[in-house]
């Protein structure tokens, strides 16, 4: 599964979610979009401490 696939799934879920959760879903989408933009393709298996050293 890729970040792009998850982002698209979250956008679809956002359509059907309660209004009280829209900010949380938008936040998750923004985080994944930023990770994708920064080149983090597999955030669950990425050592972010190593990325900070670069």
- Mean pLDDT for the stretch of residues 26-54: 88
Q: What is the pLDDT of residue 50?
A: 80
Question: Residue 54 — pLDDT band, cuts 50, 70, 90?
Answer: low
Residue 52 has pLDDT above 80, yes or no: no
Measured between alpha carbons, how far is residue 19 from residues 13, 16, 25 in Å? 12, 9, 10
């Amino acid at each position: 599964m890729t970040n792009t696939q998850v982002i698209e799934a979250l956008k679809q879920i956002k359509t059907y979610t309660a209004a009280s959760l829209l900010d949380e879903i938008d936040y998750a989408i923004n985080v994944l979009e930023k990770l994708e933009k920064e080149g983090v393709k597999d955030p669950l298996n990425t050592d972010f401490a190593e990325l900070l050293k670069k």
